[in-house]
Amino acid sequence: MHIRVDDVVEVISGEDKVRGRVLQVLRREGRIIVEGVNRAYRHIRRSQKNPQGGRLSKEMPIDISNVLLVCTSCNQATRTGARFRPDGTKERYCKKCSAAIGVIAPPHKAHAAG
């Protein structure tokens, strides 16, 4: 999974086709929670704790296949790839402009050039 918390993603299918920040990644289910996308309402009964009652709105998870990561350098929604740097660290990169997006794994001797 190449999407992490605090990445900016663009929703490419469904009702809300917008850009938003990733709040949570649910790895087992293959789903993510994006800020302001797929909102659901829960009706709350009046109580002493909540004297007004009303509707509580919260974001629900969407499938990870319905989003694309937004590249920070070219500002476009793009697919990502993984590659090794010469020092052996694994990084994410943009498939459109091939700019580095972030480090995935620490350096490893087997992948170091030289």
Question: pLDDT tens per residue, the chain (114 residues)?
Answer: 689 999 999 999 988 899 999 999 999 999 999 999 999 999 999 999 888 889 989 999 999 999 999 999 999 999 999 999 999 899 999 999 999 998 998 998 888 876
Q: Which pTM value belongs to this model?
A: 0.82
CA–CA separation, 63 and 74 (whole Å): 25
SS3 96: coil
Q: 64: left (phi > 0), else alpha (psi -120 to 50), else beta?
A: alpha
CA–CA separation, 33 and 23 (whole Å): 6
Q: Which architecture characterizes domain 1-70 according to CATH? A: Roll (2.30)
Going from N- to C-terminal start, the domains of the chain cover: 1-70, 73-114
